[in-house]
Structure 1
Amino acid sequence: IATMLESRLQTKLRSSPNGRETSLWSSGFRMKLESVTPFLGKYRPFVGCCCQTSTPKSWESLFHRGIRDLGFCNVILVKEENTRFRGWLVRRLCYFLWSLEQHIPPCQDAPQKIMESTGVPGGAGEGQVPDLVKKEVQCILGHIQAPPCPFLVRLFSWALLPFLNCVFLNVQLHKGQMKMVHKAAQAGSPLVLLSTHKTFLDGILLPFVLFSQGLGLPAPCLIRLCPMSHRALLRKPGGLFLPSEANLSLDSSEGLLARAVVQAASVPLGLWTGALAVLRSLCSHLGCSRQICSQVHLAQPFSLQEYTISARSCWGSRQTLEQLLQPIVLGQCAAVPDTEKEQEWTPITGPLLALKEEDQLLVRRLSHHVLSASVANSAVMSTAIMATLLLFKHQKLLGEFTWLTEEILLRGFDVGFSGQLRSLLQHTLSLLRAHVALLRIRQGDLLVVPRPGPGLTHLARLSAELLPVFLSEAVGACAVWGLLVGRVPPQGPWELQGIELLSQKELYRQILLLMHLLLQDLLLLQPCQSSYCYCQEVLDWLIQCGLLVAEETPGSRAACGRKLWGAVLTPTCPLQLSQQLRCPDFFLFLCRLLSPLLKAFAQAAAFLRQGQLPDTESGYTKQLFEFLQATAQEEGIFECVDPKLAISAIWTFRDLGVLQQMPSPAGPRLHQCSTFARRDNQEKLEQFIWQFICS
């Protein structure tokens, strides 16, 4: 289909009214259809590996060596082989027999367990629990739980199987990931499961997957607002409900005992709490039955005990962003300090306040590891790829969609789609129909045009899902642009290919500057990874993908850019822009992935001249967002109109010392730093950001 479209695309490639390139899409009658698969060769990428630096023993003991050969299984497909029996009657009753054979862990003595909890006054060996406290605990337990009924648990499991088979075509689970979780469970230590909850379906899918695989059930779901009729039905399967009068907010002193009881009451059979509400929500999906596929990814388990020991040894000297970057922004110095950036945005409230400062830091850095694993576990959807192509590339939708899918898989990320290319594109465009215009210009040909305004904003939000996949290359490409920004001819940076030499030391500096400017939550830089290691990783990726090549000196062996790793480079080894034909287009694509965030930062710097301060953080965020909206209407930069980008800009400027948070009787308020109240320093900040933006 790509061959047949080549001539058409060359002659019919047009520009949309807002200046964006668009492409034509043929219906492809009587042509062999190209298929898009979520794997390369016969292997699918394995996602969610734990960090080898902070948990090396967990990697050695829990990682499954033959992981790529194990494939996937459909957990909702229950056959005769899943039971101990055989025969025609068994095949008709296999769901029922399967539910009878599932292991249900025994329910422990909940009142005694709660009395021994550290959260209850007098518990955990502190002394005899007063009789009054015992009575209150019994009263609270009477509100929130009832003895679970194993029969109803099995009945729920049996009813759920045919229901899930009606809703889903399949629910895939990686066998290798499941083997690793089983191996961790056999070690004897309790498993702590952290769910990212991508959709509301996870509330019913994840417990079912764990229950069906013999891993027991997770901690109970706590539902506060639920009709009494639902509570009466759901208590028997082990439902756990909060009393209506209990105040469980972290900043409230009321309901202290109720919060302690709820935290201590691990009734593992509370799986089906809220099941009716979930089933009611799923009824709307029955119209598209047998068309929905689901995939559950489980990250590689690791030992929390090992992490707490090894993570402390990775802590080095750190400085604030203000100390690292502000002197360079203002032109007071040129060298980047040889230290790490200190940036911890996890709110220190509630339970964290009871921990020591060192333990608080440990929890915050653990959250960065969890965030990195959750992003690696998130499959890229076809809408994100289509939005990225329409915004930043989209010369040929058919060919580029396949290319971008393969690039995602090559980088170890999974994709959540497969099928015939033309049908897949049709389905994706139908999902985006509110944000793109499909214009039929002649029989069999469609013109795809992003809608201006909110349509571009929505496409930019979807395209941000691809940023973690190409993040290292995008940071490197923007750093290269910043290095060449003063010497780039009007034709573009690739006019310098094969001529201009790039200093490896200067490129390192540019990568460090941009890395410090970006939020740590965006970079997904793990706390045990140094910034200089990240710089080397970025440089390695730029060489591997062919954007940069090492300059060959006389007497040295020729080196292929794709196979040359940073370890081979010497600190003085000069680099050149590659002369491959595809590189300029790929370079601009990488730069544009970061452009929405960087342009939001640049516009936030321009807004310093007219923002009304002092103000609360939420109030100033609203001011900045309204400014982004107004600027988008004037300049057509709708990709920056996102409240999340406004928040990121304010957080970065607060770290940088541009904004200062000061206490006041009405609460903390943002003030403008006296240094950046000057017009010339505001312009220096804006120019510093614009050097990384590819115009």
Structure 2
Amino acid sequence: MATMLEGRCQTQPRSSPSGRETSLWSSGFGMKLEAVTPFLGKYRPFVGRCCQTCTPKSWESLFHRSIMDLGFCNVILVKEENTRFRGWLVRRLCYFLWSLEQHIPPCQDVPQKIMESTGVQNLLSGRVPGGTGEGQVPDLVKKEVQRILGHIQAPPRPFLVRLFSWALLRFLNCLFLNVQLHKGQMKMVQKAAQAGLPLVLLSTHKTLLDGILLPFMLLSQGLGVLRVAWDSRTCSPALRALLRKLGGLFLPPEASLSLDSSEGLLARAVVQAASAPLGLWTGALAVLRSLWSCWGCSHRICSRVHLAQPFSLQEYIVSARSCWGGRQTLEQLLQPIVLGQCTAVPDTEKEQEWTPITGPLLALKEEDQLLVRRLSCHVLSASVGSSAVMSTAIMATLLLFKHQKLLGEFSWLTEEILLRGFDVGFSGQLRSLLQHSLSLLRAHVALLRICQGDLLVVPRPGPGLTHLAQLSAELLPVFLSEAVGACAVRGLLAGRVPPQGPWELQGILLLSQNELYRQILLLMHLLPQDLLLLKPCQSSYCYCQEVLDRLIQCGLLVAEETPGSRPACDTGRQRLSRKLLWKPSGDFTDSDSDDFEEAEGRYFRLSQQSHCPDFFLFLCRLLSPLLKAFAQAAAFLRQGQLPDTELGYTEQLFQFLQATAQEEGIFECADPKLAISAVWTFRDLGVLQQTPSPAGPRLHLSPTFASQDNQEKLEQFIRQFICS
């Protein structure tokens, strides 16, 4: 869910200590740049499609071409037409009448259904390790189930739910200007709900308001009451009792017991049976606090809810298990290459445990844990792909990485986003959009008036640059393939031409396809999985080919003929003296794989078009905050106080990034999220090792990277991908 605030553009005369200056108005552009539309041609990009490889039936059945023709609706706009009644009194009571007409599904015989569930029955029959067996009295077990269920939830009271939805509708209308929802996305979810199967909702938690807004939105669209999971430690007993009657869920204390505890097994079985037919949304009391803090705000918010295409979990499980292959850890893949022990990249995939194995995941088998991690990667990829890019992210990216004329580049970047199949969450007059975006960023930029009524936009140094870098990260998934390819090309040219060499000199060199594949693989393995969002069903070499195709499509790479070979356009027959064009059917002494030598001989060079140097630099800078943070983390290995806990060492690294930012002015890297990502990557790479201790797991430097020589090799390996 992306939010925008209304505000007015304010000009503040301030000097530019960092030297980064961007002109607001552009010259030389026609009237076609005066309006920005969120679509190219007739349709806007439809985003959030499920995986066609893992869920082909869902990809086909839960999508129709007519969905793209549907527009948006305002879910908090309730009029006389939304009720069954008409008249002047209805127009004044339409909110209340609408809430009375909402369908609240009854929850009857819940304890009996839980007693008959598979998990509880397996526990009673002794088929589960730690189960009670058949010797326990069923009445006692039923009472225990009712006690645990009473702590988890209470049957929703329809009157209270309708009263709360009426009050929430009035409150949301006071807080929001509108809440936009794509009718096509909602139609897919409604079609999936018609099958009568459990519907589970997962989200990326964009704001704290999601815990209140999304249940109301699903209730208003006829999907029933969304059960929200709350933390019982943050709620008083009275509030907990009220939330239970409104459909809230509270995990019992027994659910966190050890795996061999019978009380914990029974509690987890009841929780699983109670939450199976429900969509879960984790929230906290901070949601209500944030709503209370927003009540006195003078600005009203425009919000937009994105829903990705639903898919069948059963279909995914069957397809995902059939395409599993061998994988290696990041330490096995990358550490020998970093240390110079080998040059060939292993022909296997990377397995990175970026999903924490805690809580309920510990009760699963290793195969099921792997399934959950890969499912999380699929869901996160679809969620990021379905989120619209907002104007503040585009503005922050231009201010950090382009430093030229904002009017023309804002329109250009919007068009590039739409061409890559991503959606934007804005439209309107170009100058109004820029003024609106700058008003949202007024605390982090300074506006200077220059001659002819033009404005100069200067990012404020310090925390302002850090905030702009965080906003620009929202644009990284759009250009991620091109950015990985550009940084890989930069790493390939690092040892051949000077970093500050002219573009014409870099364009002379030929780049072989094998060398490009190797550099892309190295960078792809180095990047964290939650950033790369590579689907588990997609192989690394397919991704390398996709990156190479993107570089060719955007015009950065131009195919060249192999030196000394005949042109590719020459289709004349070759001589048959050395190699026959046919073989006996039983001759397996030579295979067609020998023809792969022709593919290995493909060469490319950098394009010499006028826009290529700036675009290449723009792509490299998109990944520069993360790569620079990794390089500084490698330099910090000489100063870090180890052993330490993961949280403690992350805090040490973050303080080092802040100190380096003050010295060198690289505030884009002073982000705690980048520090966490660097620690996790170094742990998977084998630079940091984790050992158990009475106070908890502690990190210490591995013996391999205890030497300063290997630390410098690691830093040099990372810096080859950074474009200064």
Q: TM-score, normalised by structure 2?
A: 0.84
Structure 2 residue 367 is the aligned partner of structure 1 residue 338: no
Amino acid at match of 1:367: S
Aligned-residue offset at 1:659? 1.9
8 Å CA contact retained: 1:16, 1:22: no
8 Å CA contact retained: 1:116, 1:124: no
Aligned-residue offset at 1:552? 5.5
Amino acid at match of 1:73: C
The separation in 2 between residues aligned to 1:501 and 1:270, in whole angstroms, is 54
Aligned-residue offset at 1:644? 1.7
Deviations 1:88-108 (A, max 9, x none): 554444434433333221222
TM-aligned CA distance change 1:163 to 1:551, over 3 Å: same
Deviations 1:401-423 (A, max 9, x none): 22222222222222233333333
Aligned-residue offset at 1:86? 4.5
Deviations 1:523-554 (A, max 9, x none): 00011110000001101111111111212686
- Counterpart secondary structure, 2:638: coil
TM-aligned CA distance change 1:539 to 1:91, over 3 Å: same
8 Å CA contact retained: 2:75, 2:180: yes
1:579 alignment partner in structure 2: 608
Structure 2 residue 547 is the aligned partner of structure 1 residue 538: yes
1:176 alignment partner in structure 2: 184
Deviations 1:47-73 (A, max 9, x none): 211011111121122122223212222
1:494 alignment partner in structure 2: 503
- Counterpart secondary structure, 2:302: strand
2:715 alignment partner in structure 1: 686
2:386 alignment partner in structure 1: 377
Structure 2 residue 616 is the aligned partner of structure 1 residue 607: no
Structure 2 residue 675 is the aligned partner of structure 1 residue 646: yes
The separation in 1 between residues aligned to 2:208 and 2:694, in whole angstroms, is 40
- Counterpart secondary structure, 1:104: coil
2:487 corresponds, among 475, 478, 482, to 478
Deviations 1:445-464 (A, max 9, x none): 43322222222222222211
* 1:149-228 → structure 2 map (5 Å cutoff): 149-224=157-232, 225-228=234-237
TM-aligned CA distance change 1:639 to 1:232, over 3 Å: closer
- Counterpart secondary structure, 1:221: strand
TM-aligned CA distance change 1:412 to 1:251, over 3 Å: farther
* 1:41-190 → structure 2 map (5 Å cutoff): 41-117=41-117, 127=134, 130-139=138-147, 145-190=153-198
- Counterpart secondary structure, 2:178: strand
Unaligned runs of 5+ in 1: 1-13, 559-566
1:399 alignment partner in structure 2: 408
1:324 alignment partner in structure 2: 333
1:658 corresponds, among 683, 687, 694, to 687
TM-aligned CA distance change 1:456 to 1:265, over 3 Å: same
* 1:480-629 → structure 2 map (5 Å cutoff): 480-489=489-498, 491-492=500-501, 494-496=503-505, 499-551=508-560, 556=568, 570-629=599-658
TM-aligned CA distance change 1:513 to 1:63, over 3 Å: same
2:579 alignment partner in structure 1: none
8 Å CA contact retained: 1:48, 1:376: yes
Aligned-residue offset at 1:80? 3.9
1:632 alignment partner in structure 2: 661
Query: In percent, how many aligned pairs have the same letter?
Result: 85
1:413 alignment partner in structure 2: 422
- Counterpart secondary structure, 1:608: helix
The separation in 2 between residues aligned to 1:660 and 1:267, in whole angstroms, is 38
The separation in 2 between residues aligned to 1:163 and 1:374, in whole angstroms, is 28
- Counterpart secondary structure, 2:41: coil
Structure 2 residue 476 is the aligned partner of structure 1 residue 467: yes
- Counterpart secondary structure, 2:375: helix
8 Å CA contact retained: 1:121, 1:129: no
Aligned-residue offset at 1:672? 2.0
The separation in 2 between residues aligned to 1:113 and 1:227, in whole angstroms, is 29
The separation in 2 between residues aligned to 1:270 and 1:51, in whole angstroms, is 21
The separation in 1 between residues aligned to 2:486 and 2:285, in whole angstroms, is 50
The separation in 2 between residues aligned to 1:668 and 1:650, in whole angstroms, is 14
8 Å CA contact retained: 2:388, 2:423: yes
8 Å CA contact retained: 2:521, 2:540: yes
The separation in 2 between residues aligned to 1:365 and 1:591, in whole angstroms, is 28
Q: Which moved more, 1:231-240 or 1:397-406?
A: 231-240
The separation in 2 between residues aligned to 1:251 and 1:109, in whole angstroms, is 30
The separation in 1 between residues aligned to 2:33 and 2:522, in whole angstroms, is 46
TM-aligned CA distance change 1:510 to 1:140, over 3 Å: closer
TM-aligned CA distance change 1:483 to 1:269, over 3 Å: closer
Amino acid at match of 2:610: L
Determine which structure has greater relative contact order: mean sequence separation of CA pairs < 8 Å that are 6+ residues apart, divided by chain length. Answer: 2
8 Å CA contact retained: 1:55, 1:310: yes
1:440 alignment partner in structure 2: 449
Deviations 1:538-586 (A, max 9, x none): 011111111112126865559xxxxxxxx9x944221121122111101
2:316 alignment partner in structure 1: 307
TM-aligned CA distance change 1:231 to 1:597, over 3 Å: closer
Q: Which moved more, 1:580-589 or 1:255-264?
A: 255-264
Q: TM-score, normalised by structure 1?
A: 0.87
TM-aligned CA distance change 1:496 to 1:557, over 3 Å: farther
Aligned-residue offset at 1:187? 2.1
Amino acid at match of 1:113: K
The separation in 2 between residues aligned to 1:667 and 1:514, in whole angstroms, is 32
Deviations 1:355-405 (A, max 9, x none): 221111111111111111121122222222222111111201222122222
2:439 alignment partner in structure 1: 430
TM-aligned CA distance change 1:271 to 1:77, over 3 Å: farther
8 Å CA contact retained: 1:237, 1:270: no
Amino acid at match of 2:71: G
The separation in 1 between residues aligned to 2:160 and 2:99, in whole angstroms, is 11
- Counterpart secondary structure, 2:19: coil
Aligned-residue offset at 1:346? 1.6
Aligned-residue offset at 1:136? 4.3
The separation in 2 between residues aligned to 1:475 and 1:260, in whole angstroms, is 45
TM-aligned CA distance change 1:495 to 1:282, over 3 Å: same
TM-aligned CA distance change 1:177 to 1:679, over 3 Å: same
| Coordinate RMSD, CA, aligned | 3.4
Aligned-residue offset at 1:172? 1.8
Aligned-residue offset at 1:347? 2.0
Aligned-residue offset at 1:607? 1.7
8 Å CA contact retained: 1:148, 1:237: yes
- Counterpart secondary structure, 2:22: coil
TM-aligned CA distance change 1:313 to 1:97, over 3 Å: same
8 Å CA contact retained: 1:599, 1:640: yes
The separation in 1 between residues aligned to 2:139 and 2:722, in whole angstroms, is 68
Q: Which moved more, 1:667-676 or 1:384-393?
A: 667-676
Aligned-residue offset at 1:74? 2.1
- Counterpart secondary structure, 2:108: coil
Amino acid at match of 1:672: L
Unaligned runs of 5+ in 2: 1-13, 127-133, 571-595
TM-aligned CA distance change 1:154 to 1:500, over 3 Å: same
TM-aligned CA distance change 1:89 to 1:490, over 3 Å: closer
